[in-house]
Amino acid sequence: MATLTVPVEEKKKVQEQEALITGAEAIAIACKLANVDVVTAYPIRPYDTVMQYISQLVADGEMDCEYIVAEGEHSQFEIVKHASVCGARVFCGSSGVGWMYAMEALTVSPALRVPMVCMVGNRALDDPGAFGVEHNDALAVRDLGWLLTWVDSAQEALDTALIAYRLAEDSRIMVPLAISCDGAFLTHSQALVQIPTAEQVKKFLPPYNRGDLLMHPDNVISIAPQVNEDWVMEIRRQNYAVTEITCDVIREVYAEFEKNFGRKYGNPFFEEYMTEDAEVVLLGMGTMSTPVKVAIRKLREQGKKVGFVRLRWFRPFPGPEIAKCLERFKAVGVIDRDFSFGSPNLSGVVATELRSAMYTGAATRPPVLGFICGLGGREVTVPDVEEMTDIVFQAANGKAQPLTQWIGLRS
């Protein structure tokens, strides 16, 4: 039997389209491709552009879903929570204090095993008011059983949204997932994005199947009764069991993604930039990668061997992997676009978590310096990165440095 084989590269060219779109639009398109059933919107900048794009897709007949504009974020997340339990694939999102307004719904979703996929357009928490990026909004759910990932480009946003549905709805996982996109820098910045076809996505993403947890008259179950001290520990342990295997499932899903779409992300948990021969590295999440990489190229010209590690997955935190990666450097500088007031060493969230991972996972422990930088949408600038690199090199050379420093602060 003769078969017609099309070279992979050529096939891809025929199928995929390229478009100049923002991070928010990329996620809207992913929702369309994933054939999402129920979407709930509520306005807050900067995440809300994703809902504007989805609204247009629905109005144009390109996407078939129930598109509901709620009267507040609490309802927004409660509506999709219940829709998901009734078998619908759902999408939702928020920013800053909007995310906090939904907090009760966010809290109950992991134990209910609701695989809602959400976009957080990272925004500073009020007060005082600021539209710009800060990571404390999404990080507020870090202990509750959510999966949390940070992306740094529109392409990665689209791809990660597809990965998110496959991962969250995996019968071994079934917990909510938030994709964090830095406000303005990613939500509103355009880039060229390869858009896969519906057929490709269909092959990669099986339909959402809630199995015997489905709420329907044919499946008479009572969901979330009062359990008290009798059972709550066992139920918490079930969510813990998810966290034990999530890293493995993430590896599987990224491998499947690569096979289906041809785009490679390598190590799913973090991206390494010029680390091979680096003496020291900086580490951070999200779109700060752009100025950091520019600065690193400049510093390299001056002979300074510095690299960058961009953390993609914060929950699950890839503790052993990242400790193994970082143990070989002379010093590490963590750039936190967040704060954790009163934490050990008064550092940001990522630095604190990383030190914990290094303590148990690294054979040798280089100094881990914490930097608080780029809060409230302030840019992480190339001079900021140069300054931080300088401090990290001093620590590498044995000169003791404060464990937390604020960078780019007005005096």
Site for another protein contains 87 (CB under 8 A)? yes
Distances, alpha carbon 56 to alpha carbons 50, 85, 337, in Å: 10, 26, 32
Task: Read off the tokens for 297.
Answer: 């190229």
Residue in the block written with tokens 């961009």: 310
Site for another protein contains 62 (CB under 8 A)? no
Residue in the block written with tokens 């193994």: 324
Using CB under 8 A, which of 216, 236, 259, 297 touches another protein?
A: 216
Angstrom distance (rounded) from CA 156 to CA 150: 9
Is the CB of 190 or the CB of 219 nearer to another protein? 219
Site for another protein contains 74 (CB under 8 A)? yes
Task: Read off the tokens for 127.
Answer: 């007060």
Is the CB of 114 or the CB of 242 nearer to another protein? 114
Site for another protein contains 51 (CB under 8 A)? no
CB of 86 to another protein, least distance (A): 4
CB of 188 to another protein, least distance (A): 28
Strands (E), 107-189: 117-122, 147-150, 177-182
CB of 277 to another protein, least distance (A): 53
- Amino acid occupying residue 280: V
Using CB under 8 A, which of 16, 19, 52, 70 touches another protein?
A: 70
CB of 83 to another protein, least distance (A): 4
Is the CB of 105 or the CB of 326 nearer to another protein? 105
Angstrom distance (rounded) from CA 272 to CA 261: 22
Site for another protein contains 85 (CB under 8 A)? yes
Question: Sign of torsion, CA 378 383 386 387?
Answer: negative
Site for another protein contains 211 (CB under 8 A)? no
DSSP string for residues in 309-364: EEE-EEES--HHHHHHHHTTSSEEEEEESS--TT-GGG--HHHHHHHHHHHHH-SS
DSSP string for residues in 53-65: HHHHHHHTTS--S
Taking residues 220 to 249 in sequence order and writing x for each that binds another protein by CB under 8 A, - otherwise, the string is xxxxxxxx--xx------------------
Q: Among 2-10, 33-41, 126-134, 272-280, which window interacts with another protein (CB under 8 A)?
A: 33-41
Is the CB of 216 or the CB of 236 nearer to another protein? 216
Angstrom distance (rounded) from CA 275 to CA 216: 52
Site for another protein contains 168 (CB under 8 A)? no
CB-CB neighbours of 185 under 10 Å: 24
Where does this chain bind another protein (CB under 8 A)? 35, 37-38, 64-66, 68, 70-72, 74-75, 78-88, 104-105, 108, 207, 215-217, 219-227, 230-231
